Each structure stands twice: as C-alpha cells, then as structure tokens.
Amino acid sequence: MLDEPLRQSGGYIGQSVPRREDRNLLLGKGQFVADIQLPGMLHVAFARSPLAHATIGTVDVDSALAINGVHFAASGSDVCAELPPINGMQVVTPQGWRDRVDTDILIPDQPLVPEDRVRYVGEAYAMVAADSRYIAEDALEQIEVEFEPLPPLPDAESALKDDAVLVHEQLGRNVAALLHTRKGDGADAMESCPHRLSRRFVHHRYAAMPMETRGVVAEYDGRTDTLTVWSSTQVVHWVRREISTALEMPEERIRCVAPDVGGGFGGKGHVYPEDILVAWLAKKLRRPIKWVEDRHEHILNAAHSRDNIYDVEIGFDDRGKIHVVTSSFIVDSGAYTPVGAGIAGNSIAHMLGPYDIPHYETDCKVVLTNRTPNAPYRGAGRPEVGFAMERAVDIVANHLDLDPAVVRFRNMIPPEAMPYDVGLTYRDGVPMVYDSGDYPEALRRALDALGGLEVIRKRQKDAWANGKYLGLGLGCYVEGTGVGPFEGATIKIDSTGKIMVATGACPQGQGHETVFAQFAADMWHVPIEDVYVTVADTADITLGYGTIASRSTVTASGAIKIASDKIQEKALTIAANMLEVGEADLEMRDAGVGVVGIPDMHVTWREIACAAKPGWDNQRPIGVDAGLEATSYYEPPTVTWAYAANAALVWIDTDTGKLEIEKYVEVHDAGVLVNPGLADGQVKGGLVQGLGGALLEELAYDEQGQLLTGSFADYLMPTASDVPPIEVLHMETPSPLNVFGVKGLGEGGAIAPPVVIANAVCDALRPFKAELNSTPVRWQDIAAITENADRQQNMRADQEA
C-alpha cells in the first residue's frame, strides 16, 4: 500500500514542471540579503590587507571613529579579545575514511580578524560600522596600521621549500594535510608495464564567482535574547552552529535564513568570519547590522578554488590498456583551509574515473600559502584530477598512435560489471562501489552527436590537407553525488490539508522548491499547488546540512520520504478508523485516502488532519498520538555515481591561436531526472562555467602574492557570445541506492570542459606534436606552438636548400 511505484504515470516526478521560484524573481520582487533594510541598521566595512604576508603592528582606529556617522571600529585585537577563531575544520571526516586513507592533518584555525599577522591580500585587519556603506568606506581610509612585511609565499612550490617562512608557525610546517592511498600493487605495478609515461599537469586557480556577492544581515532581539541572521549562504545550519559556538548562545536561539541567494556554486558553501562578526556586532551594539561584500572584496576574499599541480605516471600495454596510475599532487590551499582536505579527498577518489585500472597509488599535500583560502567550487577536486587523468589518456593514445576514443573504450568498465567495486574508500568512509551506468554507451552517444568517430577523423584529415586544424576533445568522468552525512525534512499536514515541507537544503537557483514539491506531491497524491515548501531557514527544521556537493535532490528527497512515510502510516490508521475499514483495504489517492475499488469511500488529507487534531471529538483510534507531522533525517548509505562523456570539435586559427568550438556535447547520466528541464539547465550552466575556467577565468598572482585579476575587467567570465553550440543528452540509469533512483547533478557540467578543450587543441595540432598540459588554454600558447613549428619547418627547409 505504501510501496506503490514511486514514479507513477501522470505523477510530477519526471515532468519539467515550471518553476514556482520564477515569478518573484522576474518581477524584481526577489529578496536577496542586500535587499533587506531594517530600521536603525548600520553598515559594516572591513579594512583588508594590501600585503600578502605581514606582521600587524599597531592598528589605530581612533580617527575612523571620529568621523560623523561612524559608530564602531575595531582592530583584530579588539575582535580576538571577544571572539574565538572559526573552527578550522568545518567538515569532519568520518573514522572510516581516516582508517582507510593514510592521513596526517594539521588544520589551522582562522581568526575572525587576525591580530598578529595577515596571511593573504584581502584578509581583514579591522572593521567599522557606520550609517552607510559610503561613510564606512570613508572610515576605512582613516585607519592607521603598521605592517612589517614578511616574505610572501605566492604559490605552493615556494611554500614547500625547506627554508620557507611558515604561514602558521604553530603548525611547524606549511602542509595542512598529507594524504596517501593505494590500490592493488600501487606504484610497484609500474615495473612490469611495457610502456610508462610521466607528465606534470597544472590546473590553475579560478573561482565560483556567483553574480550575487556574499552578504550578511543580523538583528538581535534583546527581549527574547534571539538573533536572526540572513546570510547569502549554502549552509544555514553550519552558520547557525558556528555563531552559536562563537557567541555561546544556544543554537535554538539563533535563526539563520538564506533568502534568495544569487548563485553559490560552492563559494558560499562554508562559514566565513563575516557571518559570525556581523551577528556578534548586532548583539553587541543592539542594532541591525548589514555587510554586503563588494565585488573587489569578493574576488580577493571569498574562497578561490582549483590550483593544483599533478605529477602523474601511467603504465600501459601495447593496446593502450592502462595497468597502473600513480600521482603525486599538491593543492595550493591558500592561507586557511575552511573545508580541510575535502577537495584533495575528492581528487584521490575520482582519479580512476570510468576506467578499470587494477593498480593505483597517490599522495597529496595540501599546502598553506599566502593566497586567498581555497574551498570547493563546482566539481571540487574532480576537474583538477580529471584534467590530469584525461590528458594522460590522450597522451597514451598518441604515444601508441591509437585513437583516444579507442583507448577509452578499451579501458572503460563495461555495464555488465555494475555494480563495480573500485577498491578505494570514499570520503564518507564507505568502500567505493559504482552503483549503475553504462560508461561506453555514453561515450558512443557523445561521438555520434558529433557525427561519429569515422566522420570526425575524415573531416580532420581533410582539414589538415587544407592547412586547417580541427580537433576532437574527449573527457569522461564519474562523480560521487548525494553524499551524506544526512539531510533533514519536516512535514506537516495542517488543518487545511495542505502539505508543508521544510528541509535543510539551501538552494541558490537550482529550483529546489519546485523539485521538492514534485516529490511531495507524488508521495501525497496531491496537486502540486497543495504542497508548500520552505528551504534554508533554521526555524523550520531542527537539523540540516545544506546544499553543497551535488546532494540535495538525493538527500532531501530521502528525508521527505521518510518523514512522509511516518505520517502516512499514522494517517492510514486514522483513515481506517474514519472509514471503518481495515488499513489493508486502503490506498492513497485523490489528495487523501480511499478504499480500494470503492470510489465513494474516501477521506481527504484535510479531513484526516482534522481528525488527527488533539482535543474533543477527534477521530483517532485509541493509542494514536495527535497531530500529523514528522521530522526525519535521511542518512544515505553512501554516494550515488553520476557520470558523463564529453566531446567537442574545435577549430584553431593558427594566425591568432584563437579557437572556435564548433560543437560541445555532454552525455550525462544522473539516474532518474525529477525535472528534466531543470536538470538540463544545471548541466549546461555547469558546462559554461567549465568553459570559463578552461579559457578565460584566472586568479593570477605575482611573485609578491598580489592578485592581478581583482575586478571584472580582468577576471573574465563567459558572456552569451562566448558560448558555443552545446548539446546535452541525458541517460537515465536509476541508482539502486534510493527509492527514487536519483543521483546528484549540480556539479557535473563543470568537471570536463578544461580537459576537453585541452585535448581538442592538442588533437587538432597533432601535426605539430604539441602538448598543452596546463590550464587555462591560452590563445597565445596555441599561437606559439604553430609559430614555432612554422619556424622550425622553415629552418629545416632552409638547411635542406
């Protein structure tokens, strides 16, 4: 009775239901943090370090305080005297992971405003609050500070030198984490390989860069001793937890809300010092406080991402079958590591991708430097390791004069091997088992969407013959999605019979309200209009985890299901009592419960909810508690495995090195698609971000640790005219790990483009025998390849003459 097929015909799951979020946003009636205005509100601004590394001497805020309209100013020592540092490890790793992966982790805590030392350009050293942001910025200019410059560590390699200055002296080293893992015979397997190749791959630094910067508004109510905090965050419950710790207030006295959030992509996926500082100041000054980051601050201070160097060795046979991969990689974590070794953990788990490779060994150093802290951004370790691995596969193919597509097919795990035990441990502590999918089929479909491999190769030969350059770029990946530890949902059926759903998920544009309503409407057999969804508000759900790591569709649906099951079991008992039949004769239908086969015998949720109420004349059977509500937590057994094959055709203009993407295809499988239209938008949006990282976006530093791309004039994100024709094809292999068969898909699109573009360019330029093993793929590097080759050819021709 409760076990009906969950994807009913005529149900909402699987339909591209229009978004309920759209109307307000289209009318300009969305409410973002910056839109919140409260009486008596003060505006905060932070003085931020112009130096990458320096000792802080005296900080004098008196002149700032003297400005008319300035109400508060504090140095780092003022702040540190009242507030502890933020927990350096906001994400805990489970014992199961630490048991199975060799780890040596020393995570530094992050002072909310440091008193002794600044560690990156943009780190705050003082703060002010004033009647307006204008006045607050005037005040910042009056703060006098003495810095004693320290040698800057502008990148990971300089931080690893023996004589390098320490970013955090108390750690005794510039390494926050050392990780090592091994499968099969590990590196020992290299000995017996007929072919071995080694390469270095570099994945540069870029960032989430949502259109809405971060922002926090806080208001303290002295009468009830409660704090309300609106933060542009992906994790309201984490923000509440850290504020509770810092201010020593019970979590239940703090309400944290993420109103409309203008994009996150991971960049808002952890707690920042400002979240706590703004809450603290609201309580301290008893006035509403607002801080809205400006774009320059955002680029300097919000988490960056990527920035890895991989040294890879790959051992293979004549047919291109890969026997062993080893890698040694470093992650430039910047000055702090808010999400610890999470990115590196992902990279380790994802290196083997869709391939059946018996031996693997990897070690990693997460390195502290004087760059902006590094935290997960859409893909989170997978684009980086994918770049290394998928470039390596192409290099193997070239070495053997085989087609890169053929080498991939020869190494892919066949569908009949599913579920496939990878032989590694995921960062949730569970042994990795790919749950479902057909990897070779995805690649076949991707190639077909470009005309098929034979046609592509013929077109390429024709192009070469005409002095033109056309290349095929491939990139395949698997992605652990829907990771735990849990998500929560509260379901209430109120006396109107409407279904109230609240979860701990915190959307930033994904359309959760719509998607969760689809789930609940099907579970409750009601029109979708009868479902009310609340997200991102700690007042509505006791515990939640948030929207990071491609997880909410999987984890929140599970929680909604468990809570609904719980209530429905009780509702059926009550309905049986009302209809005077046995529960076994009942089914859920038509916004209520009816007797199987008898259309007239039916009670609605509204009637059942009234019957379930406490008090006189209720219709509950004896022993049944009053009320129709439940809060449940879904703890997924482990991750579901989404995957994709990407392929692109790219033309090179050898005069300028400019490349033109003729078409980009991604064949993506995230299991059952709840709302195919929204799923498609997620993958395409991710793809364009990936293309931005591949070609345009860069957080570049100079040797002094100065960021060179601190505005949108220099940090170049793709515009409408930078986007090539894109086709996304969806496969839907259900996951066996949850009742809906769903997998996560928020991040996938962003994973492959950097390597697909690099592979395509190298493929087009095969006549020049060139390799591009670092990102971003720059026109000037491509132009240099063709120019040098031209020059060499001319020189050779001259010599021969």
Contact window for other proteins (CB under 8 A) among 14-22, 440-448, 566-574, 751-759: 14-22
CA angle, 745 then 748 then 753, to 5°: 160
To the nearest whole angstrom, how small is the minimum distance from the Cβ of residue 51 to other proteins?
18
Contact window for other proteins (CB under 8 A) among 423-431, 480-488, 685-693, 756-764: 685-693
CB nearer to other proteins: give 307 or 363: 307
Amino acid sitting at position 395? I
Show contacts with other proteins in window 271-300 (CB under 8 A): 292, 294-296
Can residue 170 be called a binding residue for other proteins (CB under 8 A)? no
Show contacts with other proteins in window 644-683 (CB under 8 A): 655-658, 677-678, 680-681
Which residue in 8, 29, 191, 598 binds other proteins (CB under 8 A)?
29
How far apart (Å, rounded) are the C-alpha atoms in residues 588 and 577? 15
Quick note: the x/- pattern for other proteins over 468-507, rule CB under 8 A, is ----------------------------------------
Amino acid sitting at position 705? G
Quick note: the x/- pattern for other proteins over 506-525, rule CB under 8 A, is --xxxx--------------
CB nearer to other proteins: give 584 or 713: 713
How far apart (Å, rounded) are the C-alpha atoms in residues 720 and 726? 12
b/e for 420-458, b at 16 or more Cβ within 10 A?
bebbbbbbbbbebbbbbbbbbbbbbbbbebbeebeebee
Contact window for other proteins (CB under 8 A) among 98-106, 188-196, 258-266, 633-641: 258-266
Which residue in 30, 186, 358, 627 binds other proteins (CB under 8 A)?
30
How far apart (Å, rounded) are the C-alpha atoms in residues 164 and 160? 7
650 contact partners, CB below 8 Å, separation of at least 6: 470, 471, 473, 659, 660, 661, 662, 757, 760, 761, 764
Number of residues that bind other proteins (CB under 8 A): 77
Identify which of 362, 425, 352, 447 has the alpha carbon closest to the alpha carbon of residue 665. Answer: 447
Show contacts with other proteins in window 104-123 (CB under 8 A): none
Show contacts with other proteins in window 307-366 (CB under 8 A): none
Which residue in 622, 713, 797, 801 binds other proteins (CB under 8 A)?
713
To the nearest whole angstrom, how small is the minimum distance from the Cβ of residue 723 to other proteins?
5
Q: Which residue has the tokens 């515009």?
A: 719
- CB atoms inside a 10 Å sphere around CB 713: 7
CB nearer to other proteins: give 235 or 639: 235
As given in the structure block, the two tokens for residue 95 are: 């014992």
Which residue in 5, 10, 28, 615 binds other proteins (CB under 8 A)?
28
Backbone angles phi, psi at 198, to 5 degrees: -125, 140
How far apart (Å, rounded) are the C-alpha atoms in residues 336 and 338? 6
- The rounded Cα 326 to chain-centroid distance in angstroms is 26
Identify which of 418, 340, 326, 409 has the alpha carbon closest to the alpha carbon of residue 381. Answer: 340
Can residue 720 be called a binding residue for other proteins (CB under 8 A)? yes
Show contacts with other proteins in window 35-74 (CB under 8 A): 35, 37
CB nearer to other proteins: give 187 or 209: 209
CB nearer to other proteins: give 85 or 263: 263
CB nearer to other proteins: give 399 or 778: 778
Show contacts with other proteins in window 589-608 (CB under 8 A): none
CB nearer to other proteins: give 42 or 491: 42
Show contacts with other proteins in window 136-155 (CB under 8 A): 137-138, 141
- Residues in a beta bridge with 646: 475, 666
Contact window for other proteins (CB under 8 A) among 350-358, 628-636, 715-723, 755-763: 715-723
Does residue 231 contact residue 34 with C-beta atoms inside 8 Å? no
Can residue 532 be called a binding residue for other proteins (CB under 8 A)? no
How far apart (Å, rounded) are the C-alpha atoms in residues 718 and 693? 9
Can residue 34 be called a binding residue for other proteins (CB under 8 A)? yes
Backbone angles phi, psi at 13, to 5 degrees: -65, 130
Show contacts with other proteins in window 186-225 (CB under 8 A): 209-213
